[in-house]
Amino acid sequence: MRNLLFLSIGLDDIDSIKGGCTTHFATEIVRLIYKYGGFLLDYPRLIRFNPDIPWKTRGNGGIALDFAINRKQLKYFTGELEQKLYMYIIEESSSPASTQPSIIILDNKMLDQKAYEMLYNFSLNTLWRVVSYEELNNLLKYLKKAVIWERHELGERGLIGAFAALGYPLYYDHTYELLVYRDLYERGPRFSVDIVGKIVNLLREVEDEFSFSHIDYETKKLLITPAGPDPVIMGIRGDNPNLLYAIFKCIVKKINLKYSRWLIYVTNQGTNDHLYTSNSARKVIPYTQFKGTVSLTPELTKIPGSHVKINIKIDHHDASLYAYYESGRLKEYLTKHINYTQAYIGGCIKLERDGGLLINIEYFSPIKNSNLIKVNSVCPKCIKPMKRMGYKKGFICKECGYNILLSSDEVILSKRITSSDIYLPPLRSIKHLTKPLKRYGRERPIRIRGFRSIKYMWLNDL
């Protein structure tokens, strides 16, 4: 134990529009850790940041790994890590022009209480707004002694995500994602049309209240697999790693899935971490996430492209609320039933061409004369009507039996919401961080960290 170093490594921006993936490179780091006699101290953390940053490549997420390694092996570990980073971003299809790959390693013994607080506050800011290089440099100056190895290629932007992932421990509400990868050089469709149909039918059977965002039940579209050139085959999301592993093994068996590796990440996806509560329009700037109570006007303007706009007021300041065609049922609701004077909303702040304030809506909860907090009475799984099970007991679907429960925690956390409905875009259009309907009332309030909690991790040869 005397020769062990307890370290944390953060990485971001190790991908591009042409290929590569930060989470995939993280699996290479895990291989190196075990190759040189080290071991992980916790699940790898996949932290999603502000989803509306204009220069993001895809999902705008960083990775953090807590691990232990023998002091004598550190220089060999970092030496090979540097070689792999160079090979990955230069020779393996990651475009140098579009990203600024960054990796940083911190010695946890060199971090004091103030350092942890600075890291955590820095991370919180990356969830809902644009973080400046000045903030990054201030953090770097204070953490200088704790940084034992650092590389940033082509710029420092990736360091923002790397530090943000390191500073966000996910002690509270969290989910998991099991990511399955193919070889980095593979291109083209991951599945045939027939296989996609089989996976959709399989997921309809195995998905329950503790897994989410796998299928869009309105269009039967498969959501677990990306369309780009990156090496991810699929991502299975849920609240329990045991369940994700069971779903994964079921898919492997049913369709004879071929893959090169997989890894489970703990993440803030599906938690609404990015929505920042502020009722003052003076405090918001472009690309800032917003959550709060607004006053509505009954005037609704239709915009070419099947979009709609509603005039609102935030803290007596005029603004516009936009619901785009992709918002689906949310846009339709606003079009037909916009007869409330107030609503609790969430979305991204942007500026219109005339300089006015614009909010792209992703969460809408109309405020009515009620003291009860309820969830939407439409089943998020099969889009069928749900019936009430009793006072504060939630709803159950008449068609499939799926149920949504309410908890006292939700009432406490949502005092400003006095609505009988929560409206979200369809699953095919929501962001990684948006909390799906089925997670309301099922939030996970605390997470126990530690290597003994790691139940599943596999890179084929570990």
State the Cα–Cα distance between residues 128 and 84, nearest whole angstrom: 32
Measure the CA angle with vertex 389, ends 387 and 392; round to 5°: 115
- pLDDT tens digit string along 109-168? 999 999 999 999 999 999 999 999 999 999 999 999 999 999 987 778 889 999 999 999
At 417, is the pLDDT very low, low, confident or very high (cuts 50, 70, 90)?
very low
In whole angstroms, what is the distance from residue 160 CA to residue 122 CA? 9
pLDDT (tens digit per residue) in 342-375: 888 889 988 887 778 888 888 888 876 444 344 4
pLDDT, the chain, mean: 83
| Backbone region of residue 188 per phi and psi (left: phi > 0; alpha: psi in -120 to 50; beta: other values) | left
Q: Where are the alpha helices (DSSP H) in 146-286?
A: 157-166, 193-206, 241-255
CA distances from 238 to 183, 209, 431 (A): 25, 9, 15
Q: Report the range of poorest mean pLDDT among 83-97, 305-319, 322-336, 431-445.
A: 83-97
Side chain identity at residue 208, one-letter code: D
Residue 45 CB burial class (10 angstroms; 0-12, 13-18, ≥19): buried
Rounded to an integer, the average pLDDT of 3-22 is 87
**pLDDT given for residue 175 in this prediction:** 96
* Residue 303 scores a pLDDT above 60: yes
pLDDT at 89 over 90: no
- Cβ neighbours for 224, distance < 8 A, ≥ 6 positions apart: 199, 203, 214, 234, 235, 236, 237
Which pTM was predicted?
0.85
Residues 6 or more apart from 182 whose CB is under 8 A from it?
190, 231, 232, 233, 258, 259, 260
Lowest mean pLDDT among 83-92, 136-145, 165-174: 83-92
Residue 444 pLDDT exceeds 90: no
- Structural contact between residues 167 and 131, judged by C-beta atoms closer than 8 angstroms: no
Domain ranges of the chain: 4-173, 177-270+447-451, 275-371+422-430, 374-413
pLDDT, residue 219, reads: 86
Mean pLDDT of 55-79: 90
Is pLDDT at 194 greater than 60 in this prediction?
yes
With b meaning 16 or more CB within 10 Å and e meaning fewer, what string describes 56-69? ebebbbbbbbbbbb
Q: Which residue has the higher pLDDT, 277 or 416?
A: 277
Class of domain 4-173: alpha beta
What pLDDT, on the 0 to 100 scale, is given for residue 53?
86
Interval 7-25 mean pLDDT: 87
Convert the pLDDT of each residue in 329-340 to its tens digit: 788 887 776 766
Surface-to-core class of residue 2, CB atoms within 10 Å of its CB (0-12 exposed, 13-18 middle, 19+ buried): exposed
pLDDT of residue 415: 34
Q: Tell which residue, 279, 77, 50, has the closest CA to residue 168.
A: 50
Q: Provide the 8-state DSSP code for 415.
A: T
Residue 449 has pLDDT above 70, yes or no: yes
When pLDDT is averaged across residues 424-444 and rounded to a whole number, the result is 88
CATH number among 3.30.428.10, 3.90.470.10, 2.40.50.1010, 3.30.565.10, domain 275-371+422-430: 2.40.50.1010
Confidence bin at 86 (pLDDT 50/70/90): confident
**What is the model's pLDDT at position 407?**
43
pLDDT band at 1 (very low <50, low <70, confident <90, very high): low
Phi, psi (rounded to 5 degrees) for 138: -65, -40
